[in-house]
Amino acid sequence: MTLPLTGPTLSPKSGRPARQAVILLHGLGADGDDLFGLAPYFAEALPDAEFFSPHAPFPCDMAPFGRQWFSLRDYSQEAMFNGLSEVRPVFDAYLDAVLESRGLTEADLALVGFSQGTMLSLHGALRRSRPVAALAGFSGLLVAPDRLVAEITARPPVLLIHGDQDPVVPFGALDLARRALEALEVPVTTLSRPGLGHSIDEEGLSGAIRFVAQAFDKKQA
């Protein structure tokens, strides 16, 4: 089966057929190659996982290079929600194609996002018909949480990681997302990283790897 988005992939380190799939979702102005460097670190803890790092479908409209999942020229909640709603069918089709092509289900799927990729992961995963095994998001935010009250259909375990010196996505977005998700009974854990900007550090990466590995272990126990 041809996947609706392209991007680098990494086969299971074990050499066996994939028992899990981990999808890495990059931020604004980057592409799938940007987060793909995380895959080998996750693979150490998840030898039977296959890794996918798709390129977002649209050219970045704020830079002469890179890709975007949706435009951020207008940073209002309404504009971001509309952008996410427009790209969500592409996102869902990609997840469905990965699962079908590997004979897996949502219980075998984890999402790992950075910045805009975290926004997309949260927006899409909470509206899937079935919950994914885990969602780990770096330096993102929950767009239009008020809309979730009527639209939420899945409650996957979520880990949100954010540097307290982030100059791009305010650190306060971490607590806002946590409170909104807790109110909707989504199991959410947060990890703040002192002194970190809009980036991923070793401690945050280690936390995400542990979180995803433990979530898969619970699903397969």
Q: What is the CATH number of the domain that holds 204?
A: 3.40.50.1820
Check pLDDT > 90 for residue 66.
yes
Q: What is the average pLDDT across 130-135?
A: 98
CB 22 within 8 Å of CB 51: yes
**CA–CA dist 179, 186 (Å, integer):** 10
Question: Does 1 reside within a domain?
Answer: no
Please report, to the nearest 10 degrees, the dihedral formed by the alpha carbons of residues 167, 112, 54, 61 taken in order.
Answer: -20
- pLDDT tens digits for 155-188? 999 999 999 999 999 999 999 999 999 999 999 9
The total domain count for the chain is 1
Q: Which of 188, 94, 79 is nearest to 143 (CA)?
A: 79
Q: What is the pLDDT of residue 2?
A: 73
DSSP 57: S
Confidence of residue 127 (pLDDT cuts 50, 70, 90): very high
Question: Does 3 reside within a domain?
Answer: no
CB 166 within 8 Å of CB 201: no
Domain that holds residue 20: 9-220
- pLDDT tens digits for 98-123? 999 999 999 999 999 999 999 999 99
CB 108 within 8 Å of CB 133: yes
The residues annotated with a catalytic role in the active site are 115, 166, 198
